[in-house]
């Protein structure tokens, strides 16, 4: 129908247009990298020329050697993987549990109405404030940290996904009813599939939330993980360790976000 | 055409209830539809046209009176009735074939046979190449056709059409009303078409029911007899009697702006 993949020879103006777009894209990418490199170079230079105190600001070369020594001690992978593991479990559980609760509330309008004020209050409560309670109840360990990550994303998932369910076009539901569909079929055939974009955007938010929950949890529990390294480094004034951990954390968070974005693309291939 | 009554409304009234109060939607409506007949229903906005179709489809129950389909009181959605809504509501996450199979899926009737039948319908009505396409790759007219096939797939004997063309532009609308009426007559279905468009009703229907303002009552029922060569809507529009019917219904609708 459309000539999207037609192999007509492209006109001169179009070739010009394409190359302009491409050049522009290249420039953007180039500038992004240049800023990063300049920042690192300036940081390193300023530290070497003693313009800043590398003891409290650290410096790129020290970060690299910290990574090296952590790796040689064999603890780098351990800390990173613990944090990543807690984060993934946290947001997967948070998203799944939140979706299940949303389904229950969709099923029973009565339950949804009863739950509404509680959801509003719980949503505005900063969940990390519950950290100490959770640690007392569950014990200072990975379970407490995962519970925190889960709690941080749970309520917002319930609210977002339930809203998504409610926004499904009532006529789409009416259409299924004309075929004699029951409530389970309505859920499976239209409400859930129509809400997949909403659920995925909830996952995207939850990834970020889960990091917050895990890092705060590790601050409090302080036994292992990047959060623990950050707190520990701060306490013993090893800013190299703090900066290194933050650096690794930002890379891990970015990678995980990319992964979710890739999942989104895969699941939403019908959405152009 | 035989005279077997397939849809029968007897003194049907319907009120909607909400906290603000009750809304009488239709009031004491009675009419019969014979097998194979094409009925047009016209009436002012919000007068209760959709309500009448929903009652026949078994989605809602009348406050008083009764609705009979094939002589039996309607208790809920039935296999003999297909309902085509105002918008096509194709599911954007399903391709055309999967969309067309939706009704069969709900009724647990997807098998090799029924699949082949749906494929044949798609091919007959020009969507054979688009089976694997997603709805947003199709034009408005094609989507509407796919929605019609989704309705036909469950093999209903009675089709309810609620302003099925209102989302289309004028040209497509004419072509589609032509196609749909040809398809419906060819498949030997009984049809009830709700529309705002007087010409559309006259050009497609054997009888046109004119409704009053809400709560709807029947103002008049016109037996449409046109001296056109063909029975398709486009040539029916050329018939000399067309204008008379149009003027009569226009007066009855008494449209104020
Ligand atoms: N579920 C409902 N609850 C309360 N009132 C309703 C409901 N559905 C319809 N109504 C009201 O009943 C009246 C008739 O509605 P209906 O949809 O049958 O009219 P219609 O003729 O199909 O309208 P339109 O021309 O806009 O398609 C309207 O006033 C509408 O507001
Ligand atoms: Mg309507």
Task: Using a CB–CB cutoff of 8 Å, tell me whether A4 touches chain B.
Answer: no
B62 in Cβ contact with B139 (< 8 Å) = no
- Model pLDDT, residue A25: 95
For B135-149, the DSSP string reads GGGS-HHHHHHHHHH
Burial of A27 (0-12, 13-18, 19+ CB in 10 A): exposed
Q: Is the peptide bond before B39 cis (omega within 30 degrees of 0)?
A: no
- Model pLDDT, residue A3: 45
Residue among B181, B186, B57, B191 at smallest CA distance from B121: B186
Closest chain B residue by Cα to residue A183: B106
pLDDT tens-digit profile of B129-147?
999 999 999 988 899 889 9
B234 in Cβ contact with B65 (< 8 Å) = no
Residue among B67, B146, B65, B66 at smallest CA distance from B102: B146
Residue minimizing CA distance to atom 26 of ligand 1: B46
Whether residues B59 and A178 touch (CB distance < 8 A) is answered with yes
Task: Using a CB–CB cutoff of 8 Å, tell me whether A266 touches chain B.
Answer: no
- Model pLDDT, residue A2: 45
A226, two tokens: 């990047």
- Model pLDDT, residue A11: 86
Residues of B in contact with A271 (CB under 8 A): 92
Residues of A in contact with B93 (CB under 8 A): 193-194, 196, 270
Whether residues B76 and A180 touch (CB distance < 8 A) is answered with yes
d(CA B135, nearest CA chain A) in Å: 9
> In whole numbers, what is the pLDDT of chain B averaged over residues?
91
B83, two tokens: 């309902």
- Model pLDDT, residue B187: 83
Q: How many CA atoms lie within 13 A of A193 on its CB side?
A: 16
Higher confidence at residue B30 or residue B86? B30
Reduced to 3 states, what is the DSSP secondary structure of residue A163? helix
Of A174, A189, A193, the CB nearest to B106: A189
Whether residues A177 and B82 touch (CB distance < 8 A) is answered with no
Task: Using a CB–CB cutoff of 8 Å, tell me whether B129 touches chain A.
Answer: no
**Would you write out chain A's pLDDT as a tens digit for each of its 272 residues?**
444 555 567 788 889 999 999 999 999 999 999 999 999 999 999 999 989 888 888 889 999 999 999 899 888 889 999 999 999 999 899 999 999 999 999 999 999 999 999 999 999 998 888 889 999 998 888 899 999 999 998 999 999 999 999 999 999 999 999 999 999 999 999 999 999 888 888 888 888 889 999 999 999 888 888 999 999 999 988 888 999 999 999 999 999 889 888 888 887 766 54
Residue among B243, B70, B53, B80 at smallest CA distance from A179: B80
Residue among A191, A209, A204 at smallest CA distance from A104: A191
Closest chain B residue by Cα to residue A175: B85
Distance A174 CA to ligand 1 centre (A): 14
Closest chain B residue by Cα to residue A169: B89
Whether residues B89 and A175 touch (CB distance < 8 A) is answered with yes
Task: Using a CB–CB cutoff of 8 Å, tell me whether A72 touches chain B.
Answer: no
Q: In the sheet where B190-195 sits, what is the strand order?
A: B81-84, B158-162, B190-195, B38-42, B207-211, B218-223
* pTM given for the model: 0.83
Instruction: Give Cα separations from B133 to B136, B138, B142, B169 (angstroms).
Output: 8, 8, 11, 22
Task: Using a CB–CB cutoff of 8 Å, tell me whether B233 touches chain A.
Answer: no
Interface predicted TM-score of the whole assembly (ipTM), two decimals: 0.87
d(CA A178, nearest CA chain B) in Å: 6
- Model pLDDT, residue A1: 43
d(CA A106, nearest CA chain B) in Å: 20
Whether residues A178 and B57 touch (CB distance < 8 A) is answered with yes
Distance A29 CA to ligand 2 centre (A): 53
Residue minimizing CA distance to atom 23 of ligand 1: B46
pLDDT tens-digit profile of B30-70?
999 999 999 999 999 889 999 999 999 999 999 999 999 99
For testing contact with chain A, the best of B106, B136, B167 (most A CBs within 10 A): B106
Distance B22 CA to ligand 2 centre (A): 18
The bound ligand whose nearest atom lies closest to the alpha carbon of A174 is 1
Residues of chain B above pLDDT 90, percent: 66
Instruction: Give Cα separations from A148 to A91, A200, A218, A226, B141 (angstroms).
Output: 10, 21, 10, 16, 52
d(CA A199, nearest CA chain B) in Å: 15
Neighbour tally for A8: CB within 10 Å: 7
- Model pLDDT, residue B2: 59
pLDDT tens-digit profile of B219-238?
999 999 988 878 888 888 98
Residues of B in contact with A177 (CB under 8 A): 59, 77
Which of B:100-119 have CB within 8 Å of A? Answer: 102-103, 105-107
Whether residues B93 and A180 touch (CB distance < 8 A) is answered with no
Whether residues A178 and B92 touch (CB distance < 8 A) is answered with no
- Model pLDDT, residue B177: 87
Residue among A113, A110, A104, A100 at smallest CA distance from A183: A104
């Amino acid at each position: 129908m459309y000539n999207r993949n037609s192999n007509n020879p492209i006109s001169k103006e179009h070739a010009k247009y394409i190359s302009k777009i491409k050049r522009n894209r290249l420039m953007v990418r180039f500038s992004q990298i240049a800023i990063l490199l300049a920042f690192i170079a300036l940081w390193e230079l300023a530290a070497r020329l003693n313009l800043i105190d590398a003891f409290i600001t650290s410096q790129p070369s020290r970060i690299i050697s910290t990574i090296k020594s952590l790796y040689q001690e064999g603890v780098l992978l351990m800390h990173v993987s613990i944090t990543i593991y807690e984060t993934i479990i946290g947001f997967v559980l948070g998203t799944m549990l939140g979706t299940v609760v949303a389904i229950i509330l969709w099923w029973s309008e009565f339950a949804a109405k009863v739950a509404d004020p509680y959801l509003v209050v719980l949503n505005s409560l900063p969940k990390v404030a519950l950290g100490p309670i959770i640690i007392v109840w569950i014990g200072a360990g990975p379970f407490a940290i995962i519970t925190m990550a889960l709690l941080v994303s749970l309520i917002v998932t319930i609210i977002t996904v339930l809203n998504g369910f409610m926004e499904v076009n009532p006529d789409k539901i009416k259409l299924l009813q004309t075929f004699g569909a029951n409530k389970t079929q309505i859920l499976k055939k239209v409400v859930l599939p129509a809400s997949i974009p909403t659920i995925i955007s909830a996952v995207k938010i939850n990834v970020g939330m889960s990091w917050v929950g895990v890092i705060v949890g590790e601050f409090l529990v302080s036994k292992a993980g990047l959060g623990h390294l950050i707190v520990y480094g701060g306490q013993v004034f090893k800013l190299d360790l703090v900066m290194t951990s933050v650096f690794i954390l930002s890379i891990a968070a970015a990678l995980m976000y990319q992964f979710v974005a890739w999942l989104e693309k895969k699941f939403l291939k019908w959405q152009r | 055409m035989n005279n077997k009554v397939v849809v029968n409304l007897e003194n049907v009234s319907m009120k909607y209830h909400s906290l603000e109060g009750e809304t009488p939607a239709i009031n004491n409506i009675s009419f019969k539809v014979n097998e194979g007949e094409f009925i047009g229903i016209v009436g002012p906005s919000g007068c209760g046209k959709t309500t009448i179709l929903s009652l026949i489809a078994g989605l809602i129950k009348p406050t008083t009176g009764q609705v009979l389909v094939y002589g039996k009181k309607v208790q809920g959605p039935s296999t003999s009735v297909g309902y085509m809504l105002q918008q096509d509501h194709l599911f954007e996450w399903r391709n055309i074939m999967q969309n067309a199979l939706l009704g069969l899926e709900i009724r647990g009737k997807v098998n090799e046979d029924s699949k082949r039948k749906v494929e044949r319908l798609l091919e007959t009505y020009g969507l054979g190449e688009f089976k694997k396409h997603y709805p947003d790759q199709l034009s408005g007219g094609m989507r509407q056709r796919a929605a019609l096939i989704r309705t036909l797939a469950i093999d209903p004997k009675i089709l309810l059409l609620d302003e099925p063309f209102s989302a289309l532009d004028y040209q497509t609308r004419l072509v589609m009303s032509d196609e749909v009426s040809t398809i419906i007559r060819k498949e030997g279905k009984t049809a009830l078409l709700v529309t705002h468009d007087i010409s559309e009703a006259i050009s497609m229907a054997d009888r046109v029911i004119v409704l009053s303002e809400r709560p709807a009552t029947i103002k008049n029922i016109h037996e449409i007899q046109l001296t056109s060569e063909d029975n398709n809507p486009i040539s029916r529009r050329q018939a000399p009697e067309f204008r008379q019917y149009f003027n009569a219904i226009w007066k009855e609708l008494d449209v104020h702006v």
